[in-house]
Amino acid sequence: MASLRAHLLAWIVRRQVKRRLSGVTDVRQVRRVFDSAAFPDPPGIAFRPGEVGGIAGEWAERQGLAAAAPRLLYLHGGGFVACSARTHRPLIGGLARQGFRIFTPNYRLAPEDPFPAALDDAAAAWADFAAEGPAVLAGESAGGNLALALLLRLRDAGGRLPAAAAAFSPATDLLGGSPSLTENAGREAMLSVESFPLLQRAYLGGHDPADPLVSPLHGDLRGLPPILLHVGEREILRDDSVRFAARAREAGVTVALTVWPVVPHAWQFASSFLPEARRSLAEAGAFLEGHLAAARERASALR
């Protein structure tokens, strides 16, 4: 059963975000909405600028964290056109509370830099990040898309894969084939179906939306590491996760899928007051840490 706070948050997001996104025809308007984050920075988390793989971004970690803490590369959302490590501090800080040392790259944004710029930046950051040893990967919304696309790119190139990945409400099908796009159009608290073509055109820049590196659902998913997927039952992106989970399982991938009632898109931002956000981040943290610990054991056994 959803908490009363989940109902309240969905109502607030509908009034303050979805209403502003409805009828938007300009990427700059989307940026203004997405970049106007209203949640405070989480206390007890240290944020500092950094650079990994030549990509500038921000480190986040719990104060007093041990030097050997597990490492996580986080890819922020924002419809491929907005946001940054700074706007995502509430969500990233919530993950950092789980004991991770996190780097969030400020990848290039569309339409100024369409596909594959963001994915190239994510790959560059991951290559240097993974060179330090076993690590994990996560992202939400557009960042979840990039995380899953990065898994496919790394596997195909023979790169070092993360021990596991977590994706919160990822966009996995830019062809728009998920039934929830229409079924949940009225129930979705945050995203507007009408804005999807605008964001898709901005990101693709004329590229084929069926390419698995922009629509991971349509890729060969064999050989991917364990993946956790969390999505809201009322989201228009619900079936992007449900369908991806089904295809990944068919391909032999370990998948943990949870469909949460009531919560709005990217509810993990609200961990300061929403119990569902805290539970989602805690479950993701336990999933990632468990698989990372197993990867470390395997690496030690090979030495």
List the structure tokens of 278: 């805290």
**N-to-C CA span, the chain:** 48
User: Under a CB-based contact definition with an 8 Å cutoff, are residues 225 and 291 in contact?
Assistant: yes
List the structure tokens of 33: 């909405």
In sequence order, what DSSP letters do the residues of 30-54 get, joined into one string?
A: HHHHHH---SPPPTTEEEEEEEETT
User: Active-site residue 141, yes or no?
Assistant: yes
Residue of 104, 227, 224 lying closest to 153 (CA atoms):
224
3-state helix, strand and coil shares in percent for the chain, rounded to the nearest 5:
40, 15, 40
> Looking up tokens 């969030």, which residue turns up?
104
| Catalytic position from the list 235, 241, 276, 289 | 235
Q: How many CB atoms lie within 10 A of CB 228?
A: 25
| Catalytic position from the list 76, 84, 141, 291 | 141
User: Active-site residue 280, yes or no?
Assistant: no
Residue of 148, 103, 97, 90 lying closest to 286 (CA atoms):
97
HSE toward the beta carbon, residue 203, CA cutoff 13 A: 28
Peptide bond into 111 cis (omega under 30): yes
Residue of 227, 267, 273 lying closest to 248 (CA atoms):
227
User: Active-site residue 235, yes or no?
Assistant: yes
| Catalytic position from the list 265, 271, 276, 289 | 265
List the structure tokens of 31: 């940026």
Active site residues: 141, 235, 265
